[in-house]
Amino acid sequence: MTTPSHASPGGILIEGLRKVYGHGDTAVEALRHVDMQVHPGEVVGLVGPSGSGKSTLLKCLGAITEPTSGRMTLGGDVIYDNGWKVNDLRSLRRDRIGFVFQAPYLIPFLDVTDNVALLPMLAGLPNTQARARARELLTALDVQHRAAAQPSQLSGGEQQRVSIARALANRPPVILADEPTAPLDSERALGVMRILNQMARHAQTAIIVVTHDEKIIPTFRRIYHIRDGQTVEEAGEGRDITPAE
Amino acid sequence: MISLAGRDIAHSWRKFVLTGMGLGLLIGVTLTMAGVYRGMVDDAQALLDNSRADLWVVQKDTQGPYAESSSLRDDLVRGVRGMPGVAQAANVTYFTMQVRGASGDDTRAMVVGIEPGQSGEPGYLVAGRQITRSHYEAVADIKTGFAIGERIRIRRHDYTVVGLTRRMVSSGGDPMVFIALKDAQEAQFLKDNDAIQNDRIRTAGNPAFNRPGVPGLLDAVQALQTSSHNVNAILVQVTPGFDTEQVAEPIRRWKHLQVYARAGMEDILVAKLIATSAKQIGMFLVILAIVSAAIVAFIIYTMTLGKIREIAVLKLIGTRNRTIAGMILQQALGLGLIGFAVGKVAATLWAPVFPKFVLLLPQDAITGLVVTMAICAIASTLAIRTALQVDPAEAIG
């Protein structure tokens, strides 16, 4: 099968996405018909109760699980189109998608710099350049003073900032954040959202934040609610979280 | 690209070193077992070297004197000396027994009866002198623990240690004590007083030996019973220019004796005498290799299970399978290297303490290293298989 030729805009575009687990009588339709669009530079919330299909959608977007049908475009490139998919999903995840998890999941045996530099290194960047990129991101995220520390020596907020730096390391057009503020208090949670918004604007990255966190939901300008495998878009409060000068 | 395995090892080096030390002690035991076998072979070769013989003449149809008992009349040596190509021939006796030192402690030793100045005499001494008197002098291997001037007891007689030698051991690793041939014949073949008395009474009661009118017959028979003129082997040195087989064949043919050259005797000692021990050690080595492999596999597997989440994250962010497999393999090999280093040092330190000679050869160490690395590589496959089956989705939950 050949790659579909029609080009798409940057960011994330999902059209009619469906995911069915199992088959026959035991089939479970986790995603029924999901439409979604996130523009470059935008941070969008994805909320919904447990079992609504959030994780399945995230796995489809993260090129971990193959959808049953529909179409997905990341950063302007079609990655799935009704049975066709990109061959090298590993490279796709490495170069085109940044992941931020509920827990930072930093590699415990690498220091902070190398945790961030690992992705560019895996992409083939020389070590010195990868570390320079890591230091640049750590500075942007205000954790440069912990560059040589081990992950276990960082606070929860610092670890999460490092994990955001790691997600940004290969300048991906898309970041998928799964409950990134769950373990943090209000101040730190808003701090993480502030960083994500800044990074989205600065690097023109499209960011989807899956969350239950009432503290950060008011910060989104647009929110997708997912229920029974279907998404509904609504406007968010878009509360200003820019720190006071 | 940074070495993930190296960073992981550096991060948890205590765990690695402690695990490596445990594995190392096992490898040390394995190297020592190989050293014990090498020591046995070396002891056998030292025994042959130290006898300074080209040919061993023994009782017909036996594999004596080391592997089987062999008994020859001691006057046969004269006939052997007259055979073409024989430069020197000397009687020798070997028997293993407990030798009592001055302290009263018994030492297990191989007592060798030699003719001073002939083949069979220790080739070099580390202290004192060779036996010069006809009776009651001894030269001992230093492993006996005897000292120059010490009085030692062999059977009913006391001997003075006049010289010390080194690496003179039996094929079983017992240190040697050299005494004059006549003393050795008496010690080896002479019966105790009660047995002699008993034999005399029996002989006197036999009318065939105690005939009226034949004076001196009973005395002659009894004298024969109490004296010994047997030896275990004749050690022959061949005249330069003669082929050993060329010298051996006439002795076999005309003297009706068994003759072994160096290769034949080495075959008896190494391939036959210590064959069972070698198989025993071989079995131990195989079991130790299996145990080591199981331990390495278990350790690496457990360590990998402890990193499942990190491996899932690595896979999710695009790390190639071969990078993850390489990380686990390198850790297994690292563990093997630490283990081998600890094992080599441990074996080197404890080898001299062993009662028998333990010979640690460099080629055995190299083989051990290669086998250890191979075992570690094979043992890591289970962990690699597990790691490669990790679903990147586990990082998301």
Is the residue at A100 inside a domain?
Answer: yes
Chain A partners of B393 at a C-beta cutoff of 8 Å? 59, 64-65
Report for A177-191, B267-281, B353-367: range of highest mean pLDDT: B353-367
Please tell me the predicted confidence (pLDDT) of residue A3: 41
Q: How far apart are CA B392 and CA B316, in angstroms?
A: 5
Task: Label residue B307 by pLDDT band (50, 70, 90).
Answer: confident
| β B55-58/B258-261 pair status | antiparallel
Q: How far apart are CA A161 and CA A46, in angstroms?
A: 21
Structure tokens at B280: 């025993």
Q: What is the CATH number of the domain that holds A103?
A: 3.40.50.300
Please tell me the predicted confidence (pLDDT) of residue B146: 94
DSSP structure class, residue A219? G
Mean pLDDT of B248-263: 89
Is the residue at A117 inside a domain?
Answer: no
Q: Which residue has the higher pLDDT, B396 or B216?
A: B216
Residue with tokens 């030896």: B231
Task: Label residue B367 by pLDDT band (50, 70, 90).
Answer: very high
Q: What is the pLDDT of residues B162-214, one digit of tens each?
A: 999 998 888 778 899 999 999 998 888 777 778 888 888 888 888 888 888 88
Structure tokens at B152: 């030692």
Is the residue at A212 inside a domain?
Answer: yes
Residue type for position B378:
I
Structural domain span for residue A76: 12-20+28-109+167-235
Distance (Å) from the alpha carbon of B391 to chain A's nearest alpha carbon: 9
Structure tokens at A139: 């500075």
Mean pLDDT over the full length of chain B: 89
Structure tokens at B167: 């690496």
Please tell me the predicted confidence (pLDDT) of residue A4: 41
Phi/psi of residue A176, nearest 5 degrees: -110, 120
Is the residue at A156 inside a domain?
Answer: no
DSSP structure class, residue B192? P
Is the torsion defined by CA of A43, A47, A52, A55 positive or negative? Answer: positive
Chain A partners of B8 at a C-beta cutoff of 8 Å? 109
Profile chain A (245 residues) by mean pLDDT over runs of 10 residues: 46 93 89 92 92 88 91 90 88 90 88 94 92 92 92 90 90 90 83 88 91 90 91 84 63
Best residue in B8, B314, B317, B322 for a mutation probing chain A (most A CBs within 10 Å)? B317
Please tell me the predicted confidence (pLDDT) of residue B333: 92
Is the residue at A59 inside a domain?
Answer: yes
Distance (Å) from the alpha carbon of A234 to chain B's nearest alpha carbon: 26
Is the residue at A71 inside a domain?
Answer: yes
Q: How far apart are CA B388 and CA B161, in angstroms?
A: 71
- Given a cut of 90, is residue B108 above it in pLDDT? yes
Is the residue at A123 inside a domain?
Answer: no
Total domains in the fold of chain A = 1
Is the residue at A105 inside a domain?
Answer: yes
Mean pLDDT of B341-361: 92
Distance (Å) from the alpha carbon of B316 to chain A's nearest alpha carbon: 7
Please tell me the predicted confidence (pLDDT) of residue A7: 40
Task: Label residue B140 by pLDDT band (50, 70, 90).
Answer: very high
